[in-house]
Amino acid sequence: MTGTPLVPPRLRDDCFAMPQGVSWVPVDTALARLRAVLTPMTGVESVTAIDASGRVLAADCIARRSNPPRPNSAVDGYGFAHSATGRGVQRLPLVAGRAAAGQPFDGAVPAGSAIRILTGAILPDGVDTVVLEEDCASDGRIVVFDGPVKPRANTRTAGEDVKQGEIALTSGHRLRPPDLALLSALGIAAVTVFRPLRVGVLSTGDEIIGDPSQDAAPHQIFDANRPMLLALAQSLGCTPIDLGHVRDDPALIRDRLNQGATLADVILTSGGASAGDEDHISSLLRNEGTLSSWRIAMKPGRPLALALWQGIPVFGLPGNPVAALVCALIFARPALSLMAGAGWPKPQGFAVPAAFSKSKKAGRREYLRARIDADGHAEVFASEGSGRISGLSWATGLVELPDAALEVRPGTPVCFLPYGSFGM
Ligand code: AMP
Ligand code: MG
């Protein structure tokens, strides 16, 4: 066989390069650039639908049958032909037998007669309308109710929800529990999905102790970012790959990145990402990978280091846990989603009145740890300190303040982004 062999998509070496002369990049510009350069990075596989929650569709799902498959009753009551009824008190003789869900009535109901029918039962031949049991009196031989009744009342038509052959869910959709209900109802037993994106997470820093069960000297701190970023990757539907922690030693970092490149489709690192003396990740990526330091006009956040290491994208997040989480939610999360085949998500924000005051200067976007108080207002964590990890736990989301200057007073509408809107 001839032809070009299939190769996985590759990112261009200079894909993360920012145009020369750009100093502070607005958040939206940075997001647009990331979105433009990234592509889905994983292959596809077929899985049974019942096991597919959280997976991303790689093909449209076509309804194998209609929902409902046949016209049926929406209530418990009595069914009949509408044409034989009118105004005033209606008295219809009942046919023997009944129609129930899973037990269709075998026969036809003559015009002018009625049949006992239960919710979900297929409408027997001759029945197009159902009257609610509570609106009837019956002795088992006749049924009596007040007319007129609307034609087709209390019935569902075949395919009124979804018709056979229609697209029920489109490629790129991440399956949630209700989607599994839809797939099953439409007779779809298997789905084509993207393989989960493997996300390597690496912490760096001489001061970091990777394992909180160990002893730590006064100058050492436990690794807060790695557990957080691994769990975040998991909640985004990716496969987290723990690349552990390495000291600020270029040789060790190099080895670990090499290892990561064989295990993961993308690597998130934290710490050492700015241009300081001890920032070995950025110097290593600059010298041996292709690094772009994006100075993003955002608080919290130091430069976001973006690089390719052996063709694998590396997101160098700040070391401060607050900044690491915010950068991960704002930048890494949509990037991972796109690479996982699920498209570029925009977190759904809600305008809520502020419960706080703040004079925000122009020039950079700000994200504050926030939660909704009992009055439905957004309150923010008492300290904006980037090391205050407890504030991340205290919060249920972020307040996003725009790039422009803003005078926030109690009652000023602000944009609240619940953690849930980041898939967390
Ligand atoms: P860096 O980005 O390396 O300059 O680190 C900024 C701050 O974040 C320093 O106070 C570091 O000690 C802290 N830091 C870096 N990595 C972690 C981590 N994995 N867990 C907790 N704190 C960290
Ligand atoms: Mg450091």
Residue 1 pLDDT exceeds 50 = no
Protein residue closest via CA to atom 21 of ligand 1: 224
CATH number at residue 369: 2.40.340.10
Is the CB of 179 inside a 6 Å radius of any atom of ligand 1?
no
Does a structural domain hold residue 139? yes
Residue 2 pLDDT exceeds 60 = no
Mean pLDDT across the chain, nearest whole number? 94
Does a structural domain hold residue 6? no
140, 156, 172 - which closes a domain: 156
186 and 219 co-located in one domain: no
Which ligand minimizes its atom distance to the CA of 207?
1
211 and 264 co-located in one domain: yes
| Domains identified in the chain, total number | 4
Indicate the DSSP class of residue 348.
-
For residue 141, the SS3 value is: coil
| Number of C-beta neighbours around residue 50 at 10 A | 11
pLDDT digits (tens, 9 = 90+) for 246-281: 999 999 999 999 999 999 999 999 998 776 666 788
pLDDT digits (tens, 9 = 90+) for 62-77: 999 999 999 999 999 9
Q: Which amino acid makes up residue 56? A: V
The answer for residues whose C-beta is within 8 angstroms of residue 223's C-beta and 6 or more apart is 203, 208, 209, 210, 211, 212, 245
CATH number at residue 296: 3.40.980.10
**What confidence score (pLDDT) does residue 302 get?**
73
212 and 321 co-located in one domain: yes
289 and 309 co-located in one domain: yes
287, 311, 339 - which closes a domain: 339
> Which tokens is 317 given?
């997040």
Do you know the residue count of the chain? 424
Does a structural domain hold residue 359? yes
Does a structural domain hold residue 88? yes
172, 194, 216 - which closes a domain: 194
Question: Which chain residues have CB less than 5 Å from ligand 2, an ion?
Answer: 205, 271-272
236 and 274 co-located in one domain: yes
Does a structural domain hold residue 231? yes
Which ligand minimizes its atom distance to the CA of 212?
1
Backbone angles phi, psi at 251, to 5 degrees: -65, -40
Distance between CA atoms of 228 and 224, rounded to whole angstroms?
7
Is the CB of 316 inside a 6 Å radius of any atom of ligand 1?
no
Distance in Å, CA 76 to ligand 2 centroid: 68
Is the CB of 208 inside a 6 Å radius of any atom of ligand 1?
yes
238 and 325 co-located in one domain: yes
249 and 319 co-located in one domain: yes
220 and 101 co-located in one domain: no
Residue 31 pLDDT exceeds 70 = yes
Q: Which amino acid makes up residue 416? A: F
Which ligand minimizes its atom distance to the CA of 273?
1
Range of the domain at 84: 72-156
**What confidence score (pLDDT) does residue 97 get?**
97
Distance in Å, CA 386 to ligand 2 centroid: 14
CATH number at residue 135: 2.170.190.11
Protein residue closest via CA to atom 14 of ligand 1: 319
Does a structural domain hold residue 12? no
Portion of the chain with pLDDT greater than 70, in percent? 97
255 and 179 co-located in one domain: no
Is the CB of 275 inside a 6 Å radius of any atom of ligand 1?
no
Distance between CA atoms of 171 and 167, rounded to whole angstroms?
10
The answer for residues whose C-beta is within 8 angstroms of residue 127's C-beta and 6 or more apart is 79, 80, 81, 99, 109, 115, 117
Is the CB of 397 inside a 6 Å radius of any atom of ligand 1?
no
Distance between CA atoms of 72 and 92, rounded to whole angstroms?
20
**What confidence score (pLDDT) does residue 11 get?**
83
pLDDT band at 157 (very low <50, low <70, confident <90, very high): very high
78 and 167 co-located in one domain: no
Is the CB of 303 inside a 6 Å radius of any atom of ligand 1?
no
Indicate the DSSP class of residue 177.
H
Is the CB of 271 inside a 6 Å radius of any atom of ligand 1?
yes
283 and 320 co-located in one domain: yes
Is the CB of 423 inside a 6 Å radius of any atom of ligand 1?
no
* Residue 308 near residue 11 (C-beta atoms within 8 A): yes
167 and 62 co-located in one domain: yes
Find the range with the poorest average confidence among 199-213, 281-295, 309-323, 392-406. Answer: 281-295
Does a structural domain hold residue 99? yes
**Closest ligand 1 atom to 272 CA:** 3
Which ligand minimizes its atom distance to the CA of 227?
1
Does a structural domain hold residue 367? yes
